[in-house]
Amino acid sequence: MVPNTFINIAIDGYSSCGKSTIAKALAKDIGFTYIDSGAMYRCVTLFFIQHNIDLSNDQAITDALAKIVLDVNETEFLLNGKDVSNEIRNMQISQLVSKVAAIKLVRTKMVAIQQAVGNSKNVVMDGRDIGTAVFPKAQLKIFMTADPAIRAKRRYDELIAKSENVSLAEIAENISMRDYEDTHRSESPLRQAEDAIVLDNSHLNPTEQLNFVKDLLSSRQLIAL
């Protein structure tokens, strides 16, 4: 196997920890490509809902996956050419996405796409299994966590700002359900990679988080500050 000459930064952690905020800001700051792997699972979930795919039918899943073309870039998420950036964040998708992400056929396809990107450019990728399964040799792995009540409030504020009709209790329940499903599934469950650095951002602002990660990158001589 040819060694990967590109730098891969893996940011994993629980739902609504602010992984994408820090990953996006970091990528922009150091000139890397940002990939939101959760958005890819959300796009697949949207397609499955739109086409009434039975999640227990492997053939139906295989056929559906063959029809999905994803174009996930920094600013928008295209599902078969259509911008679904807003749609994939709604509660209906959030309720089902963990179940879709637990399906091996789905993960195999998403991981192959993610690895192809990481083998062709410097990336910051956030998700649940980036440091453990997608890029086990990532040059830096961060494992993010935050107080569940703080995570629920953050997600609630985000959805209310987008005029979604949601309650804080509903969000808190969804987050705890996803934490459970993400950590208990058999396929690549969410867990901290042995060589990951923990970042608890309950009481850190985005600038403090960014500096924390940049200091690590600099100490590993991956960037010059």
**Rounded least distance, CB 103 to ligand DC, Å:** 10
Q: Which long-range contacts (CB under 8 A, 24 or more apart) does 59-66 make?
A: 61/103, 61/105, 61/106, 62/105, 65/105, 65/106, 65/109
**Rounded least distance, CB 167 to ligand DC, Å:** 19
Q: Could you say whether residue 18 binds ligand DC (CB under 6 A)?
A: no
Residue 130 or residue 213: which is nearer to ligand DC going by CB?
130
Nearest Cα to Cα of residue 40 among 105, 99, 94, 88:
88
Binding mask 44-83 for ligand DC (x = CB under 6 A): ----------------------------------------
CA distance 171 to 75: 25
Q: Could you say whether residue 135 binds ligand DC (CB under 6 A)?
A: no
Residues facing 142 on adjacent strands: 11, 197
Helix or strand or coil: residue 52? coil
Near ligand DC in 19-48, by CB under 6 A: 37-38, 41-42
Of the residues 98, 132, 174, 209, which one makes contact with ligand DC according to CB under 6 A: 98
Q: Could you say whether residue 178 binds ligand DC (CB under 6 A)?
A: yes
Q: Could you say whether residue 13 binds ligand DC (CB under 6 A)?
A: no
**Rounded least distance, CB 152 to ligand DC, Å:** 13
Q: Could you say whether residue 128 binds ligand DC (CB under 6 A)?
A: yes
Q: In the structure encoding, which two tokens stand for residue 120, read together?
A: 């062709």
* Contact in structure between 132 and 11 (CB atoms under 8 Å): no
Q: Could you say whether residue 129 binds ligand DC (CB under 6 A)?
A: yes
Identify each DSSP E strand in the chain by its residue range: 8-13, 33-36, 70-72, 77-79, 82-83, 123-127, 140-145, 197-200
Q: Which residue ranges make up the site for ligand DC (CB under 6 A)?
A: 15, 37-38, 41-42, 97-98, 101, 127-130, 178, 182
